[in-house]
Amino acid sequence: MNDQNDINEIIETQENNASKNEQVISDEQKDKISEIERQKDAYLRLLAEFDNFRKRSEREKLEIIDVVKGSVVNDFLPILDSLEKAYIACAKDESISAGIELVIKAFKQLLEKYEIKEVDTQVEFNPHMHEALMTVDSDEPNKIVQVFEKGYIYKDKLLRPAKVSVSKGESKSYNNDNNEEV
């Protein structure tokens, strides 16, 4: 019977060793699986970060292009102003004024092609779009009375404000003691 006990002990020992080996293997597999998941997570984060970088770079590139376009156009605006003044000055000579008018029309078509618009001066004075060079007395306050130089907008960004004369409304004088109108 002693031999039987020895055999049973040997079998138990082998079974215990086998279960420990299985546990070691499964722990190793768990470690590998968690390492793979960690690497996958790092890869996905890196991929998302790169995609954000690519989008940000593209957006910044477009912004730089817009700034450069606006700057170049802004340099050409005084030429258009001069052409418009020449057109007015040569109004008596039809051949010259017709030629200048064609150049002005071509220039304005080019501005339109690049989404450059004139600042509207048929509205109430807006300090964000208009620059008041002088004020005049009038019945209606904040009305644009005269345009000295046209303003231009490029994609909702002001390139140059319109230089205008603005009405300041009717001025009333008051008696300082009673605040009564004189």
pLDDT digits (tens, 9 = 90+) for 118-158: 999 999 999 999 999 999 988 888 899 999 999 999 988 99
pTM for this prediction: 0.64
Tell me the H-state helices in the chain: 2-89, 94-113
pLDDT at 163: 95
Q: Rounded to 5 degrees, what are φ and ψ at 69?
A: -60, -45
The closest alpha carbon to 111, from 62, 148, 153, belongs to 153
pLDDT digits (tens, 9 = 90+) for 71-99: 888 899 999 999 999 998 988 888 888 99
Beta-carbon contacts of 74 under 8 Å, excluding residues fewer than 6 positions away, are 152, 159, 160
